[in-house]
DNA sequence: AATGAATGAGTATTCATTCAT
DNA sequence: GATGAATGAATACTCATTCAT
């Protein structure tokens, strides 16, 4: 009974945390503003998170986990990395479209000193990159010499940076089309050949 | 009359600022810690910088300016982008070798909510990317369809992210060789073909 | 749920603020000293006042408001300005007797660079002076040529300065009697004849 | 030789001190701003004044001394207090006209917690008030019962407050004429009858 | 003699966290 | 369980004063 209400509160805390971290950075996201926006008391979130840092860390991990899951799923159900990469990047663009804050959230925190991807997740990412390379090599889609770093760079970092650059309007453009998405995918795959 | 300004102090402030920003992020680099490490009084740095933000901003701009100058110089003195890209990336690796904090400093702040590349420098970067593309296309070194964003992504972002990943030991490796450097250059150029 | 706000604390903050402003001036009344004397944490008063300036301003306005109210009330319920002035000045003396700091507080801040009587209150004061003059002229108690400034000077400024001079012991006397009070009233009225 | 230069510097320090104290209050008049405006080094004024407080105190005493001298002189050379009061108040208005800052300076500091009229000067003022009352009584110009406080209040405080109110535009008027001056004198004398 | 470089104690204010209710 | 009152350490920044030159 009470559970339902609670979940809603926790969910609202999560959303409002992302919102403020994205808009004002980690330092600018105060517990007070997060709680107010979420409609809960300041002290409430300490029942679920030991600190502001833990709250944000857990959120970051869950967002990264979703990407990892997506990639895991793609590797199981697709047979070419063209498909895999294309759909993963598609997922990034969908996230950017539907909830730009989430993409920004990942992007900001990946580079924030206070946060690190967990060892666990780093290991998972490494494994997945390995699988991507293996599949690509097996299919003759990419060069046999391609390293994990190169795969990670083109499949994850490059698309995220592209989206972020667009969001910032760095080159004067602030939006994107499905053609942009396709082009990023192709550019990414092509670089690995 | 009166003491002359101790340039060493200012230099030590600069270095200690970079050190703390790299280690703890902008928020974690307190004036108190910066001054203590630099061996100067807290109030001293306000003789040269109006605020902590200005101090860090000016440092960031000067670091970016050095990269811009290097690229400008290369575009004037080299005739193939292979050379240009190779030497620019070489410069990144030299910076990373000689003073890793400087590279980290740029990397951290480029993604920090509190900082933006100045409009001026953004414009310069855009112009330089244009020149790189033009030179590459003119020489037949890269495809005629390559965009500014793609050039920027591969010539600047990718190498910086590569170095940063290595510095973090993200894939278990924490160092690099001249072969790595060469490989990054070739990978970068190749992606633009 | 949660503790209820301790009105006593706020009251103690108010009192300790007045105390320090009176003793050391606005600049000399530090948040730290105010909070310590009030027995609350430094940050606490920011739950009620946005800044030290707002804290002091609101206190000043409330003290002035009380005087304005008193005068408004007197003008409604008395029919001669002899009574009005007499009782207003009586009020000043009562305040000085009961809580000398309050009178000093008004006196110090009325002349402090950082504070101004609000436009609102200035207007109210002006209106009340007008009414005092009208009543006095109508009753033939004061000359028809008396200006607002003269009325204000004798009814408000002169008594406050008198009390303040006594409090300072400027002429060697540090106390007052009801005779003093009567004399001030009569002197004040007489000057306006 | 050097003396001449020095006197100029000290004079400029005095003027710039008054300027800043009047414009920004005691707290807002920084040594740095005072020295810069005066065209001397910050450390220079510590050769003549042990502290900022001493600098301002000495300036205040000198301004008050001038008023005391004026009044002393008037009491020696005039035979009615009508003349004395008239000319003293005239002096106030001249000061206000010629260098409004000086009047404001006195007015601000007379009410600033950090400053007190010296015991010496207080005694002198008391003596002078006594003489004014004696002369007035002897001439039958004022009532025999007039106290020192009343004399001081009408001859010094009232005119200064009047000028200050006008300078602040408290009643909507920001200037004054020779008629105003005459009226203040007459009002002042009349109150003492 | 005069400068202004350098100091550091002091300022108001913020905010993650605790805990009485 | 949930609240929000209360805390206090930490922050960036100021400025009167000192003293090496």
Q: What is the pLDDT along chain B (193 residues), one digit of tens a residue?
A: 678 889 899 999 999 999 999 999 999 999 999 999 999 999 999 999 999 999 999 999 999 999 999 999 999 999 999 999 999 999 999 999 999 999 999 999 988 878 889 999 999 999 999 999 999 999 999 999 999 999 999 999 999 999 999 998 999 998 999 999 999 999 999 999 9
Q: Which tokens go with A33?
A: 């503003």
**Whether D87 and D44 share a structural domain:** no
Kindly state whether residue B54 falls inside one of the protein's structural domains: no
- D23 vs A129 pLDDT, higher one: A129
Confidence class for position C167, pLDDT limits 50, 70, 90: very high
d(CA A46, C1' F1) / Å: 13
Query: Per-residue pLDDT for A117 more than 80?
Result: yes
Kindly state whether residue D110 falls inside one of the protein's structural domains: yes
Contacts of C22 in chain D (CB under 8 A): 113
Q: Which tokens go with D69?
A: 């001298």
CB contact under 8 A, C153 and D171: no
Tell me which residues from 48 to 107 on chain A have a beta carbon below 7 angstroms from nucleic acid strand E: 51-53
Bin D80: left if φ > 0, else alpha if -120 < ψ < 50, else beta: beta
Cβ atoms within 10 Å, residue B59 = 21
Instruction: Summarize pLDDT for C111-137 with one digit per residue, the tens.
Output: 887 888 999 999 999 999 999 999 999
pTM for this structure? Answer: 0.90
Bin B116: left if φ > 0, else alpha if -120 < ψ < 50, else beta: beta
User: C116-125: long-range contacts (C-beta < 8 A, 24 or more apart)?
Assistant: C117/C64, C118/C61, C121/C61, C121/C64, C121/C65, C121/C68, C122/D170, C124/C68, C125/C68, C125/C152, C125/C156
Residues 6+ apart with CB under 8 A from A170: B122
Q: Cα(B104)–Cα(B63) distance, rounded to whole angstroms?
A: 11
**Whether D85 and D1 share a structural domain:** no
**Whether B21 and B114 share a structural domain:** no
Residues 6+ apart with CB under 8 A from D52: D29, D31
pLDDT of residue B1: 66
Q: Cα(B173)–Cα(C184) distance, rounded to whole angstroms?
A: 90
**Whether B75 and B45 share a structural domain:** no
Q: Cα(B129)–Cα(B123) distance, rounded to whole angstroms?
A: 10
Measure CA D93 to chain center: 11
Q: Cα(A10)–Cα(A48) distance, rounded to whole angstroms?
A: 8
Phi, psi at residue B51, to the nearest 5°? -160, 165
**Whether A66 and A24 share a structural domain:** no
Q: How far is CA B5 from CA B39, B56, D43, D44, D167, in A?
A: 15, 21, 16, 19, 45
**Whether D45 and D67 share a structural domain:** no
Taking alpha carbons only, the member of D88, A155, D125, D15 closest to residue C168 is D125
Instruction: Summarize pLDDT for D83-136 with one digit per residue, the tens.
Output: 999 999 999 999 999 888 888 899 888 888 788 899 999 999 999 999 999 999
Kindly state whether residue A146 falls inside one of the protein's structural domains: yes
**What is the maximal distance between C-alpha atoms in chain A?**
57
Q: Cα(D3)–Cα(B158) distance, rounded to whole angstroms?
A: 69
What's the average model confidence in pLDDT over A117-138?
A: 96
Q: Cα(C84)–Cα(D149) distance, rounded to whole angstroms?
A: 23
Kindly state whether residue B22 falls inside one of the protein's structural domains: yes
**Residue whose token pair is 């406050």:** C160
Confidence class for position C146, pLDDT limits 50, 70, 90: very high
Taking alpha carbons only, the member of C60, C48, C154 closest to residue C105 is C60
Nearest protein residue to nucleotide F19, judged by CA and C1' positions: B2
- Which range of residues forms the domain containing residue C131? 59-191
Kindly state whether residue D158 falls inside one of the protein's structural domains: yes
Whether residue C174 lies within 8 A of chain D, CB to CB, comes out as no
Please tell me the total count of domains within chain D.
Answer: 2
Q: Which tokens go with A49?
A: 């998170």
Kindly state whether residue D40 falls inside one of the protein's structural domains: yes
Within 13 Å of residue C48, how many CA atoms lie on the same side as its CB? 19
- C113 vs A72 pLDDT, higher one: A72
Q: Is the CB of D69 under 7 A from strand E?
A: no
The gap between the terminal CA atoms of chain D, to the nearest Å, is 56
Contacts of D165 in chain C (CB under 8 A): 149, 152-153
The residue out of D9, D31, D49 marking a domain boundary is D49
Phi, psi at residue D89, to the nearest 5°? -65, -40
Percentage of chain A surpassing pLDDT 90? 80
Q: Is the CB of D41 under 7 A from strand E?
A: yes
**Whether A26 and A97 share a structural domain:** no
pLDDT of residue A89: 97
Task: Report the CATH number that the domain containing residue B12 is assigned in CATH.
Answer: 1.10.10.60
B45 CA to chain A: closest CA distance, Å? 23
What's the average model confidence in pLDDT over A133-139?
A: 96
CB contact under 8 A, D111 and C108: yes
Range with the lowest mean pLDDT among B135-139, C169-173, D137-141? C169-173
Which bases of strand F have any atom within 7 Å of the beta carbon of a protein residue?
A: 1-21
**Whether A4 and A87 share a structural domain:** no
**Whether C92 and C182 share a structural domain:** yes
Whether residue C130 lies within 8 A of chain D, CB to CB, comes out as no
Q: DSSP of A90-114, one letter per residue?
A: HHHHHHHHH-HHHHHHHHHHHT-TT
Q: Cα(A182)–Cα(D55) distance, rounded to whole angstroms?
A: 75
Phi, psi at residue D115, to the nearest 5°? -125, 145
Task: Report the CATH number that the domain containing residue D79 is assigned in CATH.
Answer: 1.10.357
Kindly state whether residue C86 falls inside one of the protein's structural domains: yes
CB contact under 8 A, A112 and B112: yes
B27 CA to chain A: closest CA distance, Å? 7
* A113-A116-A121 Cα angle (round to 5): 165
When the pLDDT of each residue in chain D is averaged and rounded to a whole number, the result is: 92
Instruction: Summarize pLDDT for A46-65 with one digit per residue, the tens.
Output: 999 999 999 999 999 999 99
**Whether C45 and C64 share a structural domain:** no
CB-CB contact of A53 with A45 (8 Å): no
Whether residue D41 lies within 8 A of chain C, CB to CB, comes out as no
pLDDT of residue A7: 80
Taking alpha carbons only, the member of C169, A114, C44 closest to residue B24 is A114
Query: Per-residue pLDDT for A10 more than 70?
Result: yes
DSSP collapsed to 3 states, C42-94: HHHHHHCCCCHHHHHHHHHHHHHHHHHHHHHHHHHHCCCHHHHHHHHHHHHHH
d(CA B33, C1' E13) / Å: 20
Nearest protein residue to nucleotide E6, judged by CA and C1' positions: B44
Kindly state whether residue A54 falls inside one of the protein's structural domains: no
Query: Per-residue pLDDT for C150 more than 60?
Result: yes
**Whether A17 and A95 share a structural domain:** no
Torsion, Cα D143 D144 D149 D151, to 10 degrees, reads: 50
**Whether D79 and D141 share a structural domain:** yes
* C171-C174-C179 Cα angle (round to 5): 95
Taking alpha carbons only, the member of C162, C167, C27, C49 closest to residue C99 is C167
Q: Which tokens go with B16?
A: 């200690």
Q: Is the CB of B30 under 7 A from strand E?
A: no
Q: Is the CB of D44 under 7 A from strand E?
A: yes
Query: Per-residue pLDDT for A110 more than 90?
Result: no
């Amino acid at each position: 009974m009470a559970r339902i209400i609670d979940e809603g509160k926790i969910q609202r805390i999560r959303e409002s945390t992302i919102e403020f971290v994205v808009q004002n950075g980690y330092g600018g996201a105060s517990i007070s503003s997060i709680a107010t926006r979420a409609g809960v008391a300041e002290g409430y979130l300490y029942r679920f998170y030991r600190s502001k840092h833990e709250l944000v860390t857990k959120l970051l991990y869950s967002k990264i986990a979703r990407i990892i899951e997506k990639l895991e799923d793609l590797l199981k159900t697709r047979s070419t990395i063209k498909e895999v990469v294309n759909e993963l990047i598609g997922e990034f663009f969908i996230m950017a479209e539907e909830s730009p804050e989430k993409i920004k959230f990942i992007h900001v925190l990946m580079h924030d000193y206070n946060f690190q991807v967990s060892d666990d997740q780093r290991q998972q990412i490494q494994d997945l990159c390995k699988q991507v390379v293996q599949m690509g090599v097996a299919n003759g889609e990419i060069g046999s010499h391609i390293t994990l770093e190169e795969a990670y760079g083109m499949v994850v970092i490059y698309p995220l940076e592209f989206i972020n650059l667009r969001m910032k309007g760095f080159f004067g453009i602030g939006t994107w089309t499905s053609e942009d998405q396709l082009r990023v995918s192709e550019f990414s795959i092509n670089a690995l050949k």
